[in-house]
């Protein structure tokens, strides 16, 4: 089984991801409900009440590279 590094900044909650990409707080949740097939496999998951998304997932739905890497 492959190890998953939870310390990576490439895994974040949906609200944090939306803020980083300049979107509203509910952007990821709403986008997923309307277009679940747009997220690459394994790039989004709900844990209890929290949505967790990867950088790869955000780049796929926004069409923008990670803004943190432009600094």
- DSSP state string for 27-50: HHHHHHHH-GGGSPTTSEEEETTE
pTM attached to this predicted model: 0.91
Residue 70 covered by a domain: no
d(CA 60, CA 26): 17
Q: What is the pLDDT of residues 4-31, one digit of tens each?
A: 888 999 999 999 999 999 999 999 999 9
Residue 39 covered by a domain: yes
pLDDT at 1: 80
The pairing of strands 11-13 and 44-47 is unpaired
Backbone angles phi, psi at 41, to 5 degrees: -55, 130
Name residue 67's beta-bridge partners. none
d(CA 14, CA 29): 7
| Number of separate domains in the chain | 1
Q: What is the pLDDT of residues 43-64, one digit of tens each?
A: 999 999 999 999 999 999 999 9
pLDDT at 30: 97
Residue 2 covered by a domain: no
């Amino acid at each position: 089984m492959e190890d998953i590094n939870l310390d990576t900044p490439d895994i974040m909650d949906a609200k944090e991801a939306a803020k980083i990409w300049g979107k509203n707080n509910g952007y990821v949740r709403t986008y997923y409900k309307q277009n679940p097939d747009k997220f690459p496999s394994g790039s989004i998951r709900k844990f209890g009440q929290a949505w967790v998304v990867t950088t790869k997932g955000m780049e796929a739905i926004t069409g923008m590279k990670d803004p943190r890497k432009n600094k």
